[in-house]
Amino acid sequence: MIVSRHTSRSLDSDEPDTATPTPPRPTVPTRRPGEGELTQGQHRLDPALRLSVQRPAPGVVVVSMNGDIDLAAAPRVTELIRQRLTAATLRALIVDLSMISFIDTTGGELLLQAQRRAQQRGIDMHVVPGQGCVRRLLDLTGIDASLNCHDSVSTALAHARHQ
């Protein structure tokens, strides 16, 4: 005789089964209070990395990024920065990371490599980390001491024009 978990009725009886088993409940990841909620002025960003390049002044390039910088995005970012650093007339490169929603140590290493390349070519590199995850990564790892960090693109532009 086989007994079901959901009922004490045996499976080989002739009685119709009237008890319907309850489906298992999916596990829901727990969240801390306020996690995932947006405060005023924040935007939910697509994790795909978006890149844009602007030339606000002769010899100055601003590379803005929006999304995630991780191991998957590193080759794209590295190639874009390498291309900008090999430009013949470039005096200053500004990397705007203020809209980055996630960065890991790959992104930190990428910034250090870009800084070394810029120094080798005599180009000033300025970084705008913003107030979020990029700022935290740079502070925690001490990378900010090796970079020219600024609070905004306009501040970085002012420094780039005076050098």
Q: Are strands 92-103 and 124-128 parallel, antiparallel or unpaired?
A: parallel
Dihedral, CA of residue 100, residue 104, residue 107 and residue 108, to nearest 10? 110
N-to-C CA span, the chain = 88
The confidence score (pLDDT) of residue 88 equals 72
| Predicted TM-score (pTM) above 0.75 | no
Condensed to tens digits (0 to 9), the pLDDT of residues 73-89 reads: 999 999 999 988 887 78
Q: CATH assignment of 50-162?
A: 3.30.750.24
The confidence score (pLDDT) of residue 44 equals 44
DSSP secondary structure letter of residue 27: P
Dihedral, CA of residue 52, residue 56, residue 59 and residue 62, to nearest 10? -30
Q: pLDDT higher for 12 or 119?
A: 119
> How many H-runs (helices) and E-runs (strands) does the chain carry?
4, 5
Tell me the domain boundaries of the chain.
50-162
